[in-house]
Amino acid sequence: MACTHKILEQHQVRPPPSSVPTTSLPLTFFDIPLLASDGVRCLYFYEFSHHFTQTVLPTLANSLSLTLQHFFPLVGNLICPPPPAKPYIFYTQGDSIPLTIAESTATFDHLTGYHPRHVKDFSHLVPKFPPTQMSNDTFVFPLLAIQVTLFPNSGICVAVTCRHVIDGRIGSLFMKSWASIFKAGGHDSSCLDNSLRPFYDRDVIKDPNGVMAVFLEEYFVRMRSKWKKDIGNADVFSGNDNVKATYVLNRANIESLKQRCEKDNESSSTPQHFSSFVITCAFIWVCRMRTQYHEGAIDDDDELCYLAFPADCRNRLEFPVPLTYFGNCLASCKAAAKTSELVGEKGFVVAAKVVARAISKLKSKPLEGADKWMEDRKNLIGKGHGRVLIVGGSPSFRDYQTDFGWGRPKKFEFINHPIFISLADCRDDEGALEVGVVLRTRASMDTFSSIFEQALNLPY
C-alpha cells in the first residue's frame, strides 16, 4: 500500500517535575520468563474527521505526563547487570519516553478493516524503542515508546510499544488512565479512581517453591547470550510479508459452537465448562491447523500440536494480589492434541475439551509446574511454525472502551507474529470476540477464511 509518512513533531515526555522519586523496582518470577519478548505493540484507531487543533497535541502530551506520574516505572529502564546481580526496573528523575507525532496518507479505512492486509502496512504507525544500551556487560532496555499518527480528515492512530515488564491488564489500565485524563481536560489526574491506579508493592508476590532461582539460571545462561547476538536487530516487520486479518465470533456463533461441545459431552462423567474463551481459542486453533494441514505444512498425523495461553493469576493464588498490581502476574498454560485429532471430523470438540481441561487444572493449581515455564516456552517455540499457536490479549481488557473523547476506537489491533493470535472484545457487539490472525501468505489467509466460514456453518 503506497503512502507517504512524515514526522511532524518529536517530544520527550516525563512525569511532572519532582512528582516521583528515584525508584528501583525488583522483578518477580512472573516477570523473568517474559523478558525474552521483543515487546507488545498495540494500535488504537479513532475516527476524527475535523482538523487537529493546536490545543489537542499539547493536551495529549500534558495528559500523558500526568499519566506517567502514576505509571512512572515505564519511563525508566530495565537494567540487566551481569550475574549474579538480578534484573530490575530503575526510574530516576529526568527519565523520559519518546512521543512521536506523525502524519500519514495511508487509507484509514484499509488499515481499520477486518480484511487481509500486509503486516508491513502498519509499520510506519508503530513506534520503535530507543536503542538498547550496553555498558560493562549491563543491558539497559527502554520500556515504552508512543506514536500518534494523523490521517487528515479521517482519523488518528495512537500506537504503543511496551516491553513485557507489565502484562496486558496493566497495559490496558495505562491506556484507559491516559484516555481518562485527556478526556477530562488534561490538567490534572484527579479523575482517576483507585481502579485506574497501579499497585506497586512487590511483597504481595510469594515464591515458596523457589521458582525465581530456576528462572534466573536460565536468564543468566541463555537469555543474556541471545541478547548479545540480537542487540539492535529486533524488528517485527523486517524480512517478512505476513498477512493479518480479523475474524469475529458473535454471541450466536459462540452459543452454537458451545452447543456442539455440550451435546458431545452429555454422556461424560466429568462435565466441562466451555467458556467463550475456550470456544473461540479451540475454534481458531482447529481452523489454523486445518489450514496448515491443507497446505502440507504439517504431515505427521501422530505429532502433538499445542495451544499455549497465559492466564491472569491475580485472583487465583493462595496469596491475594490486587487487580491493579503493576507487573506480570501470568501463569503459563497449554493444551495439546494430535494433528489427526485436530484436523479430523470432531477436531473442534477435541480442541475445546483439551483447552477446557487445561484451564480447569490451572484454576485448582495455577503454579503447578511453574519451574518449567521457561523451558516449556523455549521448547514450544522451537517446534516451528504450524505446530504451536500462542494466544495474546483478552476480551476482559475491554480495549474498545479506551475513549479519549473521540468515541470508542474504530479498530484495535495487535501487531504480532504468525505464531500468535490476539483476542479482544468487539466494538459494537457485546459478547462477541475479535480474533487477530497472522499468516505467512495471502493464499494461506484465503484458505483459512474458507475453512473458518465452512466450519462455522456446520450443523451440530
pLDDT of the residue at 384: 66
What is d(CA 186, CA 177) in angstroms, rounded to the nearest whole number?
Answer: 11
Among 171, 201, 230, give the residue marking a domain's end.
Answer: 230
Burial of residue 148, with CB atoms counted within 10 A of its CB: 0-12 exposed, 13-18 middle, 19 or more buried: buried
Q: Does 282 share its domain with 158?
A: no
Q: Does residue 236 sit within a domain?
A: no
- H-helix or E-strand containing 23? strand 23-26
Q: Does 254 share its domain with 222?
A: no
User: Which residues of the chain, if any, have pLDDT below 70?
Assistant: 1-2, 50-54, 232-239, 267, 269, 384-385, 459-460
How far, in Å, are 305, 365, 412 from residue 285 at the CA level?
10, 25, 21
What is d(CA 377, CA 156) in angstroms, rounded to the nearest whole number?
Answer: 36
Q: Does 214 share its domain with 266?
A: no
pLDDT of the residue at 265: 76
pLDDT of the residue at 234: 56
Q: Where are the alpha helices (DSSP H) in 12-158?
A: 56-70, 108-111
| CA geometry: angle 204, 206, 209, nearest 5 deg | 175
User: Which grid coordinates belong to 456?
Assistant: 462455522
Q: Does 223 share its domain with 309?
A: no
Q: Of these residues, 38, 207, 371, 403, which one is catalytic?
A: 403
The CATH number given to whatever domain includes residue 181 is 3.30.559.10
What is d(CA 135, CA 286) in angstroms, rounded to the nearest whole number?
Answer: 47
User: Which grid coordinates belong to 254?
Assistant: 459462540
Q: Does residue 447 sit within a domain?
A: yes
- Find out whether 437 and 245 touch, Cβ atoms under 8 Å: yes
Q: Does residue 217 sit within a domain?
A: yes
What is d(CA 418, CA 285) in angstroms, rounded to the nearest whole number?
Answer: 12
Q: Does 280 share its domain with 221?
A: no
Among 230, 263, 282, give the residue marking a domain's end.
Answer: 230
385 in active site: no
User: Which grid coordinates belong to 384?
Assistant: 516451528
Q: Does 215 share its domain with 284?
A: no
Q: Does residue 87 sit within a domain?
A: yes
How far, in Å, are 118, 225, 238, 315, 348 from residue 233 at the CA level?
21, 14, 9, 38, 39
Q: Does 216 share its domain with 356?
A: no
pLDDT of the residue at 132: 93
Chain centre to alpha carbon of residue 362:
20
What's the pLDDT tens digit per position in 340-383? 999 999 999 999 999 999 999 998 889 999 999 999 988 888 77
Q: Which domain holds residue 344?
A: 243-456
C-beta contacts of 47-52 below 8 A and 24+ residues apart: 47/108, 47/154, 47/155, 47/406, 47/407, 47/410, 48/151, 48/154, 48/155, 48/156, 48/406, 49/153, 49/154, 49/155, 50/153, 51/152, 51/153, 52/150, 52/156
Q: Does residue 237 sit within a domain?
A: no
Among 230, 260, 290, give the residue marking a domain's end.
Answer: 230
What is d(CA 419, CA 442) in angstroms, rounded to the nearest whole number?
Answer: 16
Q: Does residue 238 sit within a domain?
A: no
Q: Does 80 share its domain with 161?
A: yes
Q: Of these residues, 164, 312, 399, 425, which one is catalytic?
A: 164
Q: Does 141 share its domain with 256?
A: no
What's the pLDDT tens digit per position in 61-116? 999 999 999 999 999 999 999 999 999 999 999 999 999 999 999 999 999 999 99
164 in active site: yes
Q: Does 173 share its domain with 267?
A: no
DSSP conformational letter for 81? P
Q: Does residue 17 sit within a domain?
A: yes
Q: Does 363 share its domain with 310?
A: yes
Q: Does 338 share its domain with 260?
A: yes
Tally of domains within the chain: 2
